[in-house]
Amino acid sequence: MNSIVSNNKLAIANLFELLQDPQKAQAALAQQVGNHFAWHGPKPFKSCSSTEEWCSTFWLPFVDAFEGVSRETHMLFGGISQGKADNSLDGQSWVGATGYYEGVFAKSWLGFEPSHQVIKLRWGEFFRFEDGKIVEMYTLFDIIDFLQQINKNPLPPSHGTDFVYPSPTGINGVLLDESSASETAESMRLIREFLFEGLNNFDEENLTSMGVADFFHDNVNWYGPGGIGACLSLKEFQDYHQQHWLAAFPDRKVQDLDSLFAEGNFVGSSGWAGVTSQHIGNYLSAAATGNRINFNGMDFWLRRGDKFVENWVFVDMIDLFEQFGVDLLQQAREG
């Protein structure tokens, strides 16, 4: 792990500390960004090109709605991205992080009236650096998980287990010190084989055609987003998630990703339209549309030995269903 990546990780750790004070948030982020800055967030938020816009349209309304909000960081690590399908090194320096925000839902947010209950909101963020400054930032909140907590879920009951999003098991996921170069290389090798040689080889009939058992431990914990739920074994992953997902999106392909990097035993990935497919089967009550679909998502993996044992997953479900012609937020407000 080079010193540039180490410095970038420390910058994000320090930024997270400063963001705890909402009134200092814009200044804190402004100190860290370069001359050109872009923020991409979950629907219904629009992309921003300045820290002022990020603060006024996204950050301040969020922290104003959740009284006493605090950030819990489960993982924070960085690396040089190698997310091209052709295995070329894109050379971009990234830091990824995930965890919970926790606070009392005390004021209206996203058009929903406050429930005055404690909410634990899953978040994932990826930061691209140039010359020590943030030039691009991706954020996903698990909006469906939030709606489930306030009893406004617009989707059918999850096949998996709801509200499961723990820290890594038996290991500190906040990697501020340098990690083993050999472990990092092995994690990158395994994830690239899994994504581009495993998942992309689905024959559109048999789940075994992808060889997922070669990459996931039999007791893998796959922490899916709200609407899908957690799958706590390889069999649950296949039964509760994969078979339904691939029935709806059988020609799903992982494309060039915005980021794919490893550090030690951890791997992170972000992709806006990083996966594409035609929607030809029903999915979570949405009838097949035939539309070409792009998926916005994030993943974090933990490897032990030659297999992944944990996988934390974000999918922008609001954006996904918008491509089906379905407004999940409006359905939830009316429900």
The tens-digit pLDDT sequence of the chain (335 residues) is: 578 899 999 999 999 998 888 778 889 999 999 889 999 999 999 999 999 999 999 999 999 999 999 999 999 999 999 999 999 878 899 999 999 999 999 999 999 999 999 999 999 999 999 999 999 999 999 999 999 999 999 999 999 999 999 999 999 999 999 899 999 999 999 999 999 999 999 998 899 999 999 999 999 999 999 999 999 999 999 999 999 999 999 999 999 999 999 999 999 999 999 999 999 999 999 999 999 999 999 999 999 999 999 999 999 999 999 999 999 999 999 98
pLDDT at residue 263, rounded to an integer: 98
pLDDT at residue 25, rounded to an integer: 87
pLDDT at residue 114, rounded to an integer: 99
Q: Which two tokens stand for residue 159?
A: 């096949």
Query: How far, in whole angstroms, is CA 129 from its chain's centroid?
Result: 18
Question: Judging by beta carbons within 10 Å of its beta carbon (0-12, 13-18, 19+), is residue 17 exposed, middle or buried?
Answer: exposed
| Distance in angstroms (rounded) separating the CA atoms of residues 236 and 241 | 7
Domains of the chain, residue spans: 3-149, 175-334
pLDDT at residue 21, rounded to an integer: 84
Select 175-334's CATH number: 3.90.550.10, 3.40.50.2300, 3.90.1150.10, 3.10.450.50.
3.10.450.50
Peptide bond into 44 cis (omega under 30): yes
| Distance in angstroms (rounded) separating the CA atoms of residues 92 and 24 | 28
Q: Which residues of 19-46 are buried (b: 16+ CB within 10 A; e: fewer)?
A: beeeeebbebbeebbeeebbbbbbbebe
| Distance in angstroms (rounded) separating the CA atoms of residues 258 and 240 | 28
Q: Which residues of 317-330 are buried (b: 16+ CB within 10 A; e: fewer)?
A: bbbbbeebebbbbe
Contact 173, 167 (CB under 8 A): yes
Q: Class of the 3-149 domain?
A: alpha beta
| Distance in angstroms (rounded) separating the CA atoms of residues 305 and 303 | 6
The terminus-to-terminus CA distance of the chain in angstroms comes to: 50
| Distance in angstroms (rounded) separating the CA atoms of residues 40 and 257 | 15
Q: Which of 263, 266, 248 is nearest to 315 (CA)?
A: 248
Segment (H or E) for 155? none
Q: Which of 234, 243, 254 is nearest to 205 (CA)?
A: 243
pLDDT at residue 279, rounded to an integer: 98
Phi and psi at residue 157, in whole multiples of 5°?
-55, 140
| Distance in angstroms (rounded) separating the CA atoms of residues 238 and 118 | 33
Q: Which two tokens stand for residue 261?
A: 């990097």
CB count within 10 Å of CB 286 equals 18
The reply to whether 175-334 shares the fold of 3-149 is yes
3-state secondary structure of 105: strand
pLDDT at residue 54, rounded to an integer: 95
